[in-house]
Amino acid sequence: MEKIPQTILFLLLLVFTFVAAENSTAHRSGGADEFHVGVILDLGSLVGKISLASISLAVEDFYSVHPNHSTKLAIHIRDSMGSEVQAVSAAIDLRENYKVQALIGPQKSSEATFISKLASVIQVPVISFTATSPSLTYDSSPYFVRATLNDSVQVNSIASLVKAYGWREVVLLYDDTDYGRGILPHLIDALQHSDIYVPYRSGISLSATSEEIKQELYKLMAMQTRVFIVHMSSTRASLIFTMAKDAGMMSKGFVWIITNGLANIIDLLNPSVIEAMNGVIGIRFHVPKSQKLDTSFLIRWNKIYQRYNPNKLPLNKSITIVGLWAYDTVWALAQAAEKVGLSGNRNKRLQPHKNSTCLDSLAISINGAELLTEIVQNKFQGVSGTFDLTERQLQVSTLQIINVIGGTWRHIGFWTSKNGLSRHLNQNELEITGSSASMPNLNLVSWPGESIEIPRGWEFPTSGKKLRVGVTSSAYPEFISTSKDPVTNATRVSGLSIDIFENALKRLPFALSYEYQAFDIAGDSTSSRSYDDFIYQVYLQRYDIAVADITIIYNRSLYVDFTIPYTESGVGMIVPVKEKVNSNMWIFLKPLSQGMWFKSIIFIIYTRIAICLLEYLSGNRYLHEDMLEYFLSRVVHRVWKIVLLVLASSYTASLASILTVQQLSPTLTDIHELQKQGGYVGFHQGSYMEGLLVDIGFDRSKMRPYHTPDDFHVALSNGVENGGVDALVLDVPYIKLFLAKYCKRYTMVGPIYKSAGFAFALPKRSPLLAELSKAIINITGGDTIIQIEKKWIDQNSCQHDEEMDGSGAITFGGFRGLFLLTGFVTACSILVAFLMCHYKRQEESGHIQDADKGNKENGDCNDDIDNRATISVSGSPNTNSICHDPIMTC
């Protein structure tokens, strides 16, 4: 109890000494008029001590540069001791006893809220370089000026950082104070604008014990989200990070982001705290390089700091941005005071009224409004950069992204409203947009656990809790079937959906423990529960994921998210088939296609002309199949007979098939036609088809639910006359399974309606969604899905007898080889015949010339006449007659 009076005595002595020194300096400087200014700080905090040193140095520096000013700031220090009441009491004391014309501070946003309201009444400007709460506005506090950044200016940079690394969810940790709560609406809006979800907000009360904080951290560990944004005072944040390290939350997989309130003063934290914060990333104000901020400045600042803190070691780091803002604030106020002067430094009392309090004794500052105007119009280059209060608060230019590592921090990038995130300032747009789409445009980060791998941002808790997989039996056990193990009572499942799900889990980049939990839909044909009820259990958090033959439809997507589909989509209609009687008088033409008929006729004509030509070349004028004399004609004819034989056999078989195979056609081709006719339609009980049919326009009395494929078969077989239906409406995957068993009597019409297919349902914004969808893409895009479908769906068990139509006729392409053969043989035969004829003519011409020469020599004219007569005999069967002119003889 003795320490408290000593502390107060020391502070009073400090104030007295400071004021005395200032007064002494004022007299030495030529008797400048004192302009009284009150300063309210928490002198027990590190920020308060740094600010006090900066304010003192600023007064010395300003008046050493401006020794001839007619006014001089007389600084009066008060300690708020971190209490709002103490801060307000100090403000009243300063105004009442020292007639201060302006107040610097207070340090906390909650203190500034009270004091700024008081200042608005007595018209005294309040300039705070530490009160960052967005709730402090000009509208509510017209005499409040913020010589620092509004907390809300950093929210877009935080959202950009979270989005750049691909994290979809974050948890907010904040002081349950005006300072902590003030940023929440702005930060949450910025995150939601970037499609980032905040599943939980943890407000830590100032009265929370270490045990309560530890329990809150364990609660956070039990969540899936691993990205935490911390907006706290340095004292509370130091405790949080120290305890988080002890709890194992500063290890690989975790992400911690600190706001600028903490990042700006991270150099001042205890080394053990900085060590515990390894891997943390933060947003802080960027201080540009300046000649004013040189080594001499830092040395002088440290001397003053040690003067007020003799028992503290000198700071081995550069002055924080808070100290620079405090320094520039004094310069701005000193310049404004000189412009206003003391000519108007008068006060007037508040009008007394009944039940008045001590506040009524406070005087209103006459020159307060003028001083406020000069302050907010002041703009200059200070040690912190451009110091511009024209908007009643500093304007953000550039924020710096830092990474805590090895007991210090390093730069990883910048954020500006124009360029967003970038490694370097003034980085051109081409460099920014040209960076990898999968990697943020920042330097490499060392994450908690000394990992350089970007954390996923979520993990399934390792506290023994398994992923709860909801399953339900389908009417088609090929998709999913459930049962209970008689020994362990565990849920056993099988089917195509289960195989795809388990294959997808194997492809995840992490191990996942899970258990199946059954939801009964198909077990009882009288059950009123539906697939919608099953999926709704995910929304109610009974299941972490629903696995079954679940169709993606709009109304379900309102409360759950779906993976990409693993089956084809669409809704079709199953209808009976009827025999089609064929009465076409031109049915005999169907076995051959039009092209086949045309080309066959062309080849017949071509072959006949070829045979005619060959026979006339041989001298045979009587063309008959049995009287072909030339051997080449007989070769062409026999090859052509082979072609005709094959063609005739194929024609006969095709025609017989057309005449004997039963022709089937659907009894209905349009669901709207069925609806207009008032027909009955069946659907799968518990499915969304009932709502779909109502939307199409069916009367509920015309709709009949069925449970199993056998029920569907019976309903279609019986027909409407026997209590059945005209058609069934089902998802396409169900239809294929049904027709694989009953294909000879039914067929599918459609799809009549588009749907997205079957998928798995997860809670909204589940972090597992993206990973599971990528795994399903891997499955459906390869051979795995084919093997799974072959395992569960026997697509060859039943084959439709397809209706014969023009597309099944014999085409020329199938007989191209035979026609090429006969065409080649014919062409070659004609060529050989002409060559032989040409050769014989040359040979006979030679004989004639020899005979003429001999006759002339012997004078034997009669022999010459006889020889010519012999050669000219027509119709002779010998080989010498082959050279008859085919054109003339034909």
Has residue 30 got a pLDDT over 60?
no
Give me the helices (H) in 227-278, please: 234-246, 260-263, 271-276
| pLDDT the model gives residue 190 | 95
- Cis (ω within 30 of 0) for the bond into 440? no
pLDDT band for position 660 (50/70/90)?
Answer: low
pLDDT band for position 825 (50/70/90)?
Answer: confident
Q: Measured between alpha carbons, how far is 664 from 668 in angstroms, rounded to an integer? A: 12
**Going by C-beta distance under 8 Å and a sequence separation of 6 or more, which residues neighbour residue 644?**
none
Q: Which residue has the higher pLDDT, 346 or 828?
A: 828
Average pLDDT value for the chain = 82
Contact 371, 336 (CB under 8 A): yes
Tokens of 775: 């795994």
pTM: 0.68
Q: From start to end of 50-150, where are the E strands? A: 71-79, 102-104, 126-128, 144-146
Give me the helices (H) in 70-209, please: 84-98, 109-122, 155-164, 178-182, 184-193
Q: Measured between alpha carbons, how far is 668 from 729 in angstroms, rounded to an integer? A: 12
The total of other beta-carbon atoms located within 10 Å of residue 410's CB is: 13
Q: Which of 37-46, 756-765, 821-830 has the lowest mean pLDDT?
A: 821-830
Contact 72, 33 (CB under 8 A): yes
Q: Which residue has the higher pLDDT, 754 or 171?
A: 171
Q: Measured between alpha carbons, how far is 738 from 742 in angstroms, rounded to an integer? A: 6
pLDDT band for position 548 (50/70/90)?
Answer: very high
Spacing of C-alpha 726 from chain mean position: 44
What is the arithmetic mean of pLDDT over 770-782? 91
Q: Measured between alpha carbons, how far is 867 from 852 in angstroms, rounded to an integer? A: 10
| pLDDT the model gives residue 451 | 92
| pLDDT the model gives residue 850 | 65
**Mind listing the pLDDT tens digit for each residue in 410-439?**
999 999 988 899 998 875 544 444 344 456
What is the arithmetic mean of pLDDT over 382-392? 91
**Mind listing the pLDDT tens digit for each residue in 39-96?**
999 998 889 999 999 999 999 999 999 999 999 999 999 999 989 999 999 999 999 9
What is the arithmetic mean of pLDDT over 668-693? 88
Contact 196, 163 (CB under 8 A): yes
Strand pairing category for 379-382 and 385-388 = antiparallel
Q: Which residue has the higher pLDDT, 624 or 693?
A: 693
Q: Measured between alpha carbons, how far is 865 from 863 in angstroms, rounded to an integer? A: 5
In eight-state DSSP terms, residue 587 is G
Q: In percent, how much of the chain has pLDDT > 70?
A: 81
Evaluated on CA atoms 539, 541, 545, 547, the torsion sign reads negative
